[in-house]
Amino acid sequence: MGVQIIGTGSYVPEIVITNEQLHARLGFDSDWIVKRTGILERRHALPEQATSDLSVEAAKRCLAQANVSPKDVDLLVVGTFTPDMSFPSTACLVQDRLGINAPAIEIEAACAGFMYALITAAAYVVSGVSEMALVIGADCNSRILNPDDIKTYPLFGDGAGAVLLTKGRPDQGILAYSMGADGAGGPLLCRPSGGSRMPPSIADIQAAQHYMVMDGRAVFRWAVEILCDSIQDVLKAAQVTAGDVDLYLPHQANIRIINASIDVLHIPRNKVYNNLEKYGNTSAGSIPIALDEAMAENRIQPGNLIVMSGFGAGLTWGTALMRW
């Protein structure tokens, strides 16, 4: 408690990849993707763009909206699992380009990356270690997807979102949160080659081991369960009901995951924000992009109760109930 978001910003690349374009190249029915995921199109980064580029654009828009100078930011936390390179961190690259004089922390929690980063930054602000924290979630998923895999390639897009955190009223902030991990599920969604376990090699590239691999059915089942369970946990901890919440911002992974979960929780669909059809799954960029668009549409007002929930590879999850 005692923290507030005073600015939001987002950025998606200019290249739009429609289902029809994928149909022409991969040969599957474009309606199949809509029925399976709810996705109509997604954005892909330009050849010269990387995750840091998307992050910088989202951050600039966030800072401009809040009318805050980069020099006033004393903490930068970036959530991503598609960094520009192994090192230096993307957070450091973003810090330099924005002209921020502050620690730059990078968190890898895949599609839960933004929630991990947000909760971490909030702890810094509440403790007094930070007065103005910039939190970014960003991913270039198109760079780690197998372009010939019809089960994963159509699901993901590229994008970034940012928020600015500072101290707020005593009644503002995170009323309750659930943040966790289940490493036993790591093999369900991973990128085998490219790290210290399997350094890049010609053989791995020929075997497509440098691309993301996913057990879609198992991840789907887990995602529905963790979305339901973690939302129930934070509502119970804060002693509020599902109906008390003004807007739900779930990770935009798959419309079937979202609908299955909110139906179990008896949440009206008009209280759930979705932009999945435009961007696909943007991983760590998903929630902050949705938050920025919801703010622009006046879907969030002072005093509102907001639930944000991310879940992804690791397996990781982060869900928070926040009073605006």
Please work out, in degrees rounded to the nearest 5, the angle formed at the alpha carbon of residue 25 by the alpha carbons of 22 and 30: 35
Q: Is 190 a catalytic residue?
A: no
Which phi-psi region, left, alpha or beta, contains residue 114 (left: φ > 0; alpha: ψ -120 to 50)? Answer: alpha
Q: Which of 111, 141, 254, 275 is catalytic?
A: 111
Tell me the DSSP string of 177-228: EEEEE-GGGGGGEE--SSSSSS---HHHHHTTTTS-EE-HHHHHHHHHHHHH
Omega before 88 cis (within 30°)?
yes
Query: Which pairing describes strands 132-140 and 158-167: parallel, antiparallel, or unpaired?
Result: antiparallel
Q: Is 281 a catalytic residue?
A: yes
| Residue 315 vs residues 214, 216, 310: alpha-carbon distances, Å | 12, 13, 11
Catalytic-labelled residue, pool 62, 251, 254, 275: 251
Active site residue 111: yes
Beta carbons of 145 and 207 less than 8 angstroms apart: no
- Whole-number Å distance between alpha carbons of 268 and 145: 34
How far is the CA of 302 from the CAs of 12, 125, 290, 323, in angstroms?
A: 27, 20, 18, 8
Number of residues assigned to the chain: 324
Cα–Cα dist 83/105, whole Å: 13
- What backbone torsions phi and psi does residue 31 show, to the nearest 5 degrees? -65, -25
Q: What is the maximal distance between C-alpha atoms in the chain?
A: 57
Q: Annotated active-site positions, please?
A: 111, 251, 281
